[in-house]
Structure 1
Amino acid sequence: MSHKEHKRDVFSSKFGIVAAAAGSAIGLGNIWRFPYLTGENGGAAFLFIYLFFVLALGVPVMLSEFIIGRKSQANFFGAFRKLAPGSGWPIIGIMGVAAAFMILAFYSVVSGWTLEYIVAAAGNYFADKSSEEIKVFYDTATGQSWRPIFFMLAFMAITAFIVKAGVQNGIEKACKMMMPLLFVIVLVLIGKSLSLEGASKGLKFLFQPDFSKVEGSTILNALGQAFFSLSLGMGAMATYGSYINKNESLGQSAIYTSLADTFFAVLVGLAIFPAVFAFGIEPSEGPGLVFVIFPGIFNQMVGGYFFAVIFFVLLAITALTSTISLLEVVVLYFVEELKMKRTVATWVAAGSISALGVLCAINSSIFGFFDSTSSNILLPMGGLLTVIFVGWVLGKTVVRNELEEDGRPAFYFRIFIPVIRFLAPLAIAIVFLNSIGLLKF
């Protein structure tokens, strides 16, 4: 092993791996999309279908990225160059790094909104404001002005300071603190939400199984959410996989990460929808739910000031654990391929992404282009090519060795190979065709 590989930073514990990987997977979509999808698509019926796809598709694809990362001990581009030298496969790595770059450019803008809302909530700005006044605040906070740019830059600076410190001292340490805090905050919010009169309607919306709502689009929604929710296709999990010790079980890490992501999304639903129904508001999804509707709900709540502040802190932490992993994909590429020092790589990456972020903040067309190109094309294509590579190119022996537990092939190895060769590519192809509008039910 080379001197460089000896010096490679690694996660210090299983908890560190899962905290970082789950932090990457848990994003703002878990808060404003997943609970609504669940309620609108048959409650517990949708949850059951979604969980099936998480285990049947999400975990194998995540495992594939972990295998690529740990086997190669390299960034997402370097991994394919190392594992398939002289071939065209490194194009997957380029797509992944490009996807992380583009996603962070627009996601940092949305993340910046959470900071502005923390400041506004802490200053009691929303007290006694009408829903129209809150909507005006939202339009200004997210509109084409200096404000979204300022808060986007602040958010990127926080992200960069954590990534600059390295894996153990930066990413792992931050995620080990933030992830437990995330769950504590959401449990406090659930306690308040469930205590409201009329909260039971929200529970019914979320959990009452309604199989009459299960149709083709439900299956597609569950499949797409299982793929997009887990940070797959852009090399984040492969990058984190490259920091996992050989003695750690990749299977356990993938399952714990996927279940933590799902569990958190369900908990958020418990925090949000009982409150929405208690105040007689129509359930909805998207940024408007958390940035327009919820400030008004907190106004009507006993202790609303406290709950508003911790709610927006919850949003900011959720965003931050994702922006950390996105920036790390780009930084590791700069460190290993362009031979930059980590500090320089971090600020160059953060600076160039922030420049694109400014464009996203002032031009909604650029924002939309980055969003649709990364989500509809780069991520599904990256995920599809990744599983084909692991299933057909990497070889059974390499995969078996990476999935060894206590010196023996993992019990799921025999299932993993056919899933990754046949089922996963088919499922991701369906996600891809649906995302570009070629497949509808």
Structure 2
Amino acid sequence: MAPDSNSREQWSGKIGFILSAIGSAVGLGSIWRFPFVTGENGGGAFVLIYVVCVLLLGLPVLLSEIVLGRSTQRNPVGALRKRAPGTPWFLGGFIGITGTIIILAFYSTVGGWTLSYIWGALADGFGQMSIQQAEARFTQFISDPIIPILWQFLFMMLTMGICLFGLQNGIERTNKFLMPMLGIMLIILVIRGITLPGSGEGIRFILYPDWSSVTFNTVFEALGMAFFSLSIGAGTMVTYGSYLPKKESIPHAVKHVVLFSTLVSLAAGLAIFPAIFSLGYEPNTGPPLVYITLPAVFAQMPGGSLFAILFFFLLSVAALTSSISLLEVPLRYLEDEHGFSRKKGTLLAGGLIFLLGIFATLSFSTLSHVKGIAGLPIFESMDFIASNVLLPLGGLVFILFAGWKWGIRQVFDAAKGEDGKGLPAQLFWEWIARWVTPVLILIVFLFQVLSNL
């Protein structure tokens, strides 16, 4: 039986919620994925399209998820079941929970890589490593069947440890400490990047649009990046919203989350691309940009050892603030729907996710011959299922529920806090949320699925 919502944990206030929501949104997607996707899609033009998509796609879904959580004081499954009893809408909550489990399983693999690179930066600062040596180092590391699992285990222990301390003492306190630290480190890295000799070309690359490089794929990539960089579609914001006091204004919080998560993505680009161009590397090297290209960049940069430590610590902070929000979703489901204690739910959910994540880690070594969806390795199959199927479907369910089942006018009215203020131009945003956002999500979903089959 679900517990009494009056006894439910709550954020201590607006700042705690905003920082935690930003922490959920600002993960490896913002600092690892955004730069390499930008590099592959021409720079500034992609950035502008991405910002537009954040507003048209991300903001309405984000607001709807938080409102659903706060109004019901439940996890994604319980929230949809409470708001629409006796209907199959609650299945959308299971889509989100399944997505978070799969994402955290392979996410913990990458989180472990990042922790190991902090150790590497502390040990030798990557020396005078060439890009060929950096590639060999990375390949040797992920090909080992044991060491990456140990780092993955450490990453999951950190995630579970924070969740065990509870909402205010664990998740909120961690985000209040780590998010300002992340901001300071990013500012330092941006200043260092833009002051390197020859960095102007990198600045122009990310800030000045080259429309000749834009294709249909660029637009779809920007739509997808906006969707995933805000941590929407998986129910994390429904869960976080369920801890938000009734007095707080959701539109006010959403504007801050959208603004700061977008700024972090842009700052990551400004920290990385000027350094890459300054030292003559290519920006379109894809996912290995962080683990292969950047160590070579740091090795040649004046003071590179210090900045390597800062960057990989920054990446670990971003990974951790997202991973705790991902674990909170199945954990909260077990608490709400099955009466688990936080300790029991954390250990069960976290332990099972770690075991599932071992398969993702071993897909680069012992299980490299095993193929999954569309002939992809296990790691990439898990990424495809979660990112290209479950998250878009979850986001589509939440926005359709808000716009057509519950009623978008009621959603926006429920978003207001004690001050009674909603989003400016509310009628415009109601139209966007009801008509434009669902169509865009459906286009992204169909394109990503069909192009990968």
| Same amino acid, percent of matched pairs | 42
Deviation per CA, 1:319-376, whole angstroms, max 9, x where unpaired? 1111011000111011111211001111111100000011111125221221110111
Matched, 1:248 2:248: yes
C-alpha distance in structure 1 between counterparts of 2:81 and 2:434, whole Å: 21
Matches within 5 A, 1:205-220: 205-220=205-220
Residue 396 of structure 2 corresponds to residue 384 of structure 1: yes
Seen in structure 2, the aligned counterparts of structure 1 residues 20 and 408 have a Cα distance that, compared at 3 Å, is closer
Q: Which amino acid aligns with 2:246?
A: K
Measured in 2, the distance between the counterparts of 1:432 and 1:426 equals: 10
**1:349-428 residue pairs with structure 2 within 5 A?**
349-364=349-364, 365-396=377-408, 398-405=410-417, 406-407=419-420, 410-428=423-441
Does the 8 A contact of 1:387 with 1:425 survive in 2?
A: yes
Which residue type is aligned with residue 429 of structure 1?
L
* Structure 2 counterpart of 1:430: 443
CA 1:146–1:209: 2 relative to 1, 3 Å: same
| Paired letter, 1:431 | V
Deviations 1:220-260 (A, max 9, x none): 22222111211111101111111111111111211211111
Report the equivalent of 2:341: 341
Cα distance in structure 2, aligned partners of 1:362 and 1:217: 31
C-alpha distance in structure 2 between counterparts of 1:346 and 1:434, whole Å: 36
Separation (CA, whole Å) in 1 of partners of 2:423 and 2:191 = 40
Q: CA deviation at 1:292?
A: 1.1
Aligned residue pairs, count: 439
1:395, distance to aligned residue in structure 2 (A): 2.9
Equivalent pair of 1:35/1:206 in contact (CA under 8 Å):
no
Match of 1:65 in 2: 65
Measured after TM superposition, the shift of residue 176 of structure 1 is 1.0
2:186·2:271 contact (CA, 8 Å) conserved in 1? Answer: yes
The aligned counterpart of 2:134 is: 134
Deviation at 1:40, TM superposition (A): 5.1
Task: Flag structure 1 segments of 5+ consecutive residues without an equivalent.
Answer: none
Partner of 1:169: 169
CA contact (8 A) 1:111 1:316 kept: yes
Residues 54-85 of structure 1: CA deviation (Å, up to 9, x unaligned): 11211001011011101110011111111111
Paired residue secondary structure (2:291)? helix
Give the conservation status (yes or no) of the 8 Å contact 1:19–1:179: yes
User: Which contiguous aligned blocks of 4+ residues in structure 1 show a shift greater than 6 angstroms?
Assistant: none
The corresponding residue for 2:267 is 267
Q: Distance in 1 between matches of 2:16 and 2:349?
A: 24
Give the whole-Å Cα distance in 1 for the aligned partners of 2:41 and 2:33.
12
Output the CA distance in 2 between the equivalents of 1:108 and 1:91. 26
Q: Secondary structure at the residue paired with 1:98?
A: helix
Contact 2:200 2:274 in 1 (8 A): yes
| Residue 409 (structure 1) shift | 5.6
Contact 1:32-1:285 at 8 Å conserved across structures: no
Which amino acid is the alignment partner of residue 224 of structure 2?
G
Asked if structure 1 preserves the Cα contact closer than 8 Å seen for 2:408 and 2:434, the reply is no
Larger CA deviation: 166-175 vs 37-46? 37-46
Give the corresponding residue for 1:45.
45
Using the TM superposition, name which of 289-298 and 352-361 deviates more.
Answer: 289-298
5+ residue gaps, structure 2 = 365-376
The 1:300–1:410 alpha-carbon spacing in structure 2 relative to 1, beyond 3 Å, is closer
**Alpha-carbon separation, structure 1, partners of 2:163 and 2:306:** 30
Q: Which residue of 1 aligns with 2:4?
A: 4
CA distance in 2, matches of 1:217, 1:360: 27
> Judging changes above 3 Å, is the alpha-carbon distance between structure 1 residues 370 and 414 closer, same or farther for their aligned structure 2 residues?
same
Distance change >3 Å, CA 282–CA 78, structure 1 → 2: same
TM-score, normalization by structure 2: 0.92
In structure 2, the CA distance between the partners of 1:246 and 1:124, relative to structure 1 (3 Å rule), is same
What TM-score do you get using the length of structure 1 for normalisation? 0.95
Contact 2:30 2:265 in 1 (8 A): yes
SS of residue matched to 2:387: helix
Is the 1:403–1:413 Cα contact (8 Å) retained in structure 2?
A: no
Contact 2:125 2:308 in 1 (8 A): no
More off after superposition, 68-77 vs 131-140: 131-140
Residue 197 of structure 1 and its aligned partner are, at CA, apart by 1.0
Contact 2:32-2:315 at 8 Å conserved across structures: no
Match of 2:195 in 1: 195
Partners of 2:50 and 2:436 in 1: how far apart?
16
Q: CA RMSD in A?
A: 2.0
The offset of 1:272, in angstroms, is 0.5
Counterpart code for 2:176? K
